[in-house]
Amino acid sequence: MDFEKFYIPQFLDSELEYLHLTIREHAIIIICMGLGFSLKKFLLGTVLALALVLISKELKKRLDISVVPSFFYWHFPSWFTGIKSLPSSHKRFFVG
């Protein structure tokens, strides 16, 4: 059975979810549990994965993704962000 054929999202711009988790959250779980397994600390990897997924869900609820570029512009230097077309954020000359 083709899952994509019968998938009905709640909103038009909602991400694809499987077991109530997005692809990004599944990646966090796989990386943390794989790291815990490779270090022979499987319980630590599981707890870390659970904590990071809960933190990412909470941040996704509280923050809008459009805030991130402006945060990087105002709080990090231009060599870090790679934004060359905008003036530096510490040069604040107002016209008018």
Number of domains in the chain: 2
Token pair for residue 42?
Answer: 């499987």
The structure's pTM equals 0.54
pLDDT digits (tens, 9 = 90+) for 36-64: 888 888 898 899 998 988 888 888 778 77
pLDDT of 84 strictly over 60:
yes
Tell me how far apart the alpha carbons of residues 12 and 20 are, in angstroms, rounded to a whole number: 17
pLDDT of 95 strictly over 60:
yes
Domain around 93: 67-96
38/82 same-domain check: no
44/8 same-domain check: yes
Q: What average pLDDT does the segment 11-25 reach?
A: 75
48/71 same-domain check: no
51/81 same-domain check: no
pLDDT bin (cut points 50, 70, 90) of residue 92 is low
51/84 same-domain check: no
> H-helix or E-strand containing 18?
strand 17-18
